[in-house]
Amino acid sequence: MDINTEIKNRRTFAIISHPDAGKTTLTEKLLLFGGAIHVAGAVKNNKIRKTATSDFLEIEKQRGISVATSVMTFDYKGIKINILDTPGHKDFAEDTYRTLTAVDSVILVIDSAKGVEEQTLKLMEVCRMRATPVMIFINKMDRDGKDSFDLLQELEEELKIAACPFTWPIGKGSDFKGVYNLYNSSLLLYTPEKSEKSEILINTGEKDDPKLKDFLGQKTLTNLWDDIELVSELFESFQENLYNEGYLAPVFFGSALNNFGVLEMLETFLDIARHPTETETKERVVKPNEPHFSGFIFKIHANLDPNHRNRIAFLRVCSGKFERNKLYYHPRLNKNMRFSAPATFMANSKSTVDEAFPGDVIGLYDNGSLKIGDSLTEGEVLHFKGIPNFSPEIIKEVVNRDPLKTKQLEKGVRQLTDEGLAQLFIQQMGNRKFIGTVGELQFDVIKYRLEHEYGAKCDFHSTPYIKACWITSENKDALNEMLRRRAGSIAYDKENTPVFLAENEWMIKIVKESHPLVTFHSTSEFNV
């Protein structure tokens, strides 16, 4: 099979949601329909519960399962589907952003009772930054929730995106009967049985079909046809170009728990979602059907097996064909690397693959050479764009509680920050180490993992800093002057790039005015 055919037969997407909207359940049902798993519960629920940090730490101990459910691959009707799971908790928004760099589209899950929530808004901002096509699944229609028209209006107003209903619910809550497909005029009625796949009872678009009246009753049937007529008047019709540009979102209603509406969304998604497309690098635009392989690392997990200290780096294939045991060039290290056991993942298992094509996500076993944002090519120097670190919202100092474990602490902090869990800044005076995160929960996770995976104990002390700005200048003298005058507020990231640690926005303003030839950056992605 040629590379163009392989590309057309691939779909790579992420499922995102506010916590508890049903993301994990929807993922599981998609896998059930694809035949990738055969029993409910095969995909472990690795979401971060709201109740207590300890819940997350217990889940984090099962690193293999957590990682396996991060990237899942299966085939459905001749299409190879790559699903990337994302953390739902707001404290891990940066990890979600990096995951979204590796997908071509997104399915956003909305709770029908809660509508648009805080994390939903933040996730949509990330999608909008990347112009990622979004499809929306309004979940839990078998529970009492908001009016369907109100939900669509809320989506448009809050998410700033045009809603385009593809299916329409028949009732809600205890009266929920199924969905009507607006695009092929079929009525799909389900019963919430306990089987793995609910059976389609009626598949018809004929208004006068006596089976519809018998099953729904005349009142429900009349309301359905009235709703459908109103939908066509109020909301946008589907336009593929607007969807691909991120301006219009197809909307599906259903219940992931009971399989209502899931299959309709999956099959429509495969029809309209784009296959792998071109990727931007600092040097040029990379097209997927180019003959030579290229790809980038967007996610790293350390200590999958604490006994062996192994790591897996997740790579998105951008062009050409990746082949097992072939030498590939690592531009940052300027050396060639060979991977003997590249892996794909499904539920709690993984398997070795011999080749991978654009859109595929594979895991590469690594001894610490690979970092987030690294490229692999067949010799060309490429730096893929859009994988930055963001200015952290909380900055704390790492304090060693056991001097005999200093080396273990150093190694652990570096490896865990390599995963993208947090950012490391080092102040040369006194070799002080600062950890920057977007949420408190990450500090608990780091502390727990340092102790249980590296045998190192530490505390995190509060600092007066509220923001970290990367600083550059075309004038070396101007930059050196600032580094000298502001030495007490200067640290360096892991790439040895200077960072200004600010105590407040007013201080940033004053320092900018004092050093006009120095440029301040809110992310680590910039061209010097």
Domain-by-domain residue ranges, the chain? 3-272, 279-377, 394-521
Residue 68 pLDDT: 36
Residues 6 or more apart in contact with residue 340 via CB below 8 angstroms: 324, 325
CATH topology assigned to domain 394-521: Alpha-Beta Plaits (3.30.70)
The residue written with tokens 């971060």 in the block is 48
Asked if 498 and 470 count as a contact pair (C-beta separation under 8 A), the reply is yes
d(CA 451, CA 216): 59
Task: Split the chain (528 residues) into runs of 10 and give each run's mean pLDDT.
Answer: 90 87 83 64 44 38 43 86 77 74 92 87 82 94 90 93 92 82 76 52 62 76 86 88 93 87 88 91 94 93 63 92 96 94 75 92 87 92 81 91 93 86 86 88 87 91 94 94 94 92 93 95 70
Tokens of 477: 């003298």
Distance of CA 271 to the CA centre of its chain: 22
Alpha-carbon dihedral angle through residues 84, 89, 90, 96, given to the nearest 10 degrees: -10
Which fold does the domain 279-377 belong to in CATH? Elongation Factor Tu (Ef-tu); domain 3 (2.40.30)
Q: Residue 401's pLDDT is what? A: 94
Q: Between the CA of residue 290 and those of 7, 287, 357, 401, what are the distances in Å?
A: 11, 6, 11, 52
Q: List for the chain the helix, strand, coil content (%; round to 5).
A: 30, 30, 40
Show the tokens assigned to 283: 């040097």
Dist CA 302 CA 207 (whole Å): 57
Side chain identity, residue 234: L
For residues 313 and 364, the answer to whether their CB atoms sit within 8 Å is: yes
Distances from the Cα of 342 to the Cαs of 119, 141, 333, 363, in angstroms?
Answer: 33, 40, 20, 6
Which two three-digit tokens encode residue 383?
Answer: 């730096």
Run of H or E including 274: none
**Assigned CATH topology for domain 3-272:** Rossmann fold (3.40.50)
pLDDT at 306: 57
Q: Find where tokens 């691959």 sit.
A: 73
- CA pair distance 215, 200, nearest whole angstrom: 13
- Give the pLDDT score at 203: 60
pTM of the model: 0.81
End-to-end CA distance of the chain: 42
User: Phi first, then psi: what are they for 42, rounded to 5°?
Assistant: -70, -30
Tell me if 166 sits within 8 A of 183, measured CB to CB.
yes
